[in-house]
Chains A and B, each alone.
Chain A
């Protein structure tokens, strides 16, 4: 295992975060705080409790998840796309690194960044709404697994994209709608039966549901289903990246 190589990529990516601290951390935190102010404090105070949880507190897991999803995808996709765009990818491809080591470096750094953002948002939320985390270990586990899973997705997008426009395409047209419709602001049990069934096709539902369970012991789908779905996303993402490196798709041709 080339640990030095993993460390080099990880540190390199993290140093980019520190160079662009405002854009990397402050900006997503600020926009989430605005959600809390508007939906949590202003509008939320006029909405009934959901399953015994105040609306402001109810949306915290969903908001964290929404930001973490978009940040994981953005960080990882940019991390691998930029060397492709700048041409420095040659160094990565010619280095004695396996694809697992490359992933550990890039996805590890992207997931770390979004995990930190998630934790910062969680603490920030505490200033606006009463917070309770009933299963902190599960909460951390769900958060970490989601960061990794969506960083894998971002990594795939970063390799697939052949322009900055395409880099934004999937996050804007797919991830954001799925996050909004995945139960960030509501429980899917509140939907009519048909829309509830349709919502179950949205993978984000399982992430938010499991994550919300770790806070309030209430979930839209059974916990085991959420865990199984995350495991499935992880496996599929990993398999796609293994295929990319095996065939050299968009990297070696």
Chain B
């Protein structure tokens, strides 16, 4: 298997704001070409600051960043040319038309006019029929797509999507996910921050969790879910219980749904994970159940556990 090429390499990145607030602790991170990387973290964790640092919107306090091998300070032109950014806020020139604002973005990045490309981007994002509308006339979802069109207008190799589906309805969110997948198919590296863990679960190849400016972990999504994911076995009881029977204490069992469910939490990776033991115990003590179901913990639960533990 060939080694993945690095799109973004961050070393010892720190950001301390005037006044002493440390937004980013020293961060080391590598993002590979062509992957979808999801950066998760609660509000104020430092996700946007990290993105802004890479894009040159905030000054670094320390550290080094390279984008496709170009140093973001000494070779800022080449580095920034590779990057497209869709910021979290819907910041647009309200009185400009869609066509003009997208063309403006392309020009800013040093690219000559390419009406055919702009047309294809607008069509792909279902904005073609709005191309002559002023942005202030558009809905929130459309404005969000205009931001994406602006970021794509200069054909970036790396695309930052900072909360791309915040405030967007379910249907549009799903269509945006499809568009992100399509972009990845064209070889674009995508770095995504989101509050919707299901979004990361649906799209990401790798996940990074950031909290209080510190990168807690970076892992392949599937591996992370396997490593940290717990499984639950839920027994629907025939006769509700008031307390967990003493025979079952210490076996990671709890009561739920007003005593009508017994929930057994176990680790699928452990050889002796106690499943047989629990089943035997229930049978021996005549605890009858109508149904059994199992459930894998979601990325959201993993994320919450990690943040709490930190």
The chain A residues found within 8 Å of chain B, CB to CB, are: 2-5, 7-9, 11-12, 15-16, 19, 86-88, 90-97, 247-248, 252-253
Contact = CB atoms under 8 A, between A and B. Distances in A.
A96 B109 contact: yes
B59 A9 contact: no
Contacts of B100: 12, 15
Given A86-B93, A86-B94, A91 B59 contact: no
Given A91-B108, A95-B109, A248 B91 contact: no
Contact of A2 (B93, B94, B110): B110
Nearest to B112: A4
Given A86-B94, A94-B83, A248-B58, A4 B110 contact: yes
Contacts of B17: 253
Contact of B108 (A16, A97, A253): A97
Interface string B102-138: 0111111111100000000000000000000000000
A82 to B, nearest CB: 8
A84 to B, nearest CB: 10
Contacts of B78: 96
Given A2-B77, A9-B108, A95-B109, A252 B59 contact: yes
Contacts of A7: 107
B57 A5 contact: no
Given A2-B77, A88-B93, A95 B108 contact: yes
Given A19-B95, A90-B91, A96-B81, A5 B110 contact: yes
B73 to A, nearest CB: 12
A101 to B, nearest CB: 9
A90 B87 contact: yes
Given A15-B100, A248-B58, A91 B81 contact: no
A164 to B, nearest CB: 16
Interface centre among B106, B108, B110 (most CB of A within 10 A): B108
Given A94-B83, A96-B76, A88 B92 contact: yes
B77 to A, nearest CB: 4
B56 interface: yes
